A and B are shown apart, each in its own frame.
Chain A
């Protein structure tokens, strides 16, 4: 059964720092991987979707990489800002393509 793990559970950094969030999954036979952002009291916002055939995707200050063989993905955030403070979730699609399997998230706090 696919399991998704995110380490660390929480991270605090000063503004301006570059940082990496980690996501690992147990079954490398995935269709794609998505990174989401969750703000308190709000829903999840999709940040990046990486297809299984891709190695990375970029959107602004965000860069997500995927290494299927090792079961890992990283989300790189450049020049962090206080507005980046949120919980970041990664998810892979299950084998049937009917559901997302989520990690428990990394809560990021960026101080000014």
Chain B
């Protein structure tokens, strides 16, 4: 089944404890991105990747890192999480190397930072 998977789905952590949210797609998509969704603010892009080893900042990149060593994986790293990073996170992918094609989203990761 063609899909985008994220792990973990739910995570409660404490301030400053490094964590990684994994994202994997099995559709051979070139483009991948991360969004966060917050009440009243909607979905905002954190980082995106147009291909392996090509990543760039979105609208809200502060406090996050990403890497794209393989085409299928695009992990989101929070090196020192803070309470303002409590949010619902979504990974997305699409076939072409941009956001112009139909975007496929993962199921989301709900992160709480205490």
Query: Taking beta carbons and an 8 Å cutoff, which residues of A are in contact with B?
Result: 31-32, 34, 36, 41-46, 49, 89, 91, 93-94, 97-100, 102-105
Contact = CB atoms under 8 A, between A and B. Distances in A.
Interface residues of B, number: 26
Contacts of B99: 93-94, 97-100
30 contacts: A34-B103, A41-B108, A43-B4, A43-B90, A43-B105, A43-B108, A44-B90, A44-B92, A44-B103, A44-B105, A46-B102, A46-B103, A46-B104, A89-B43, A91-B43, A93-B98, A97-B99, A97-B100, A98-B45, A98-B50, A98-B99, A99-B48, A99-B58, A99-B59, A100-B35, A100-B92, A102-B42, A102-B43, A102-B44, A103-B42
B85 interface: no
A98 B4 contact: no
B102 A98 contact: no
A4 to B, nearest CB: 8
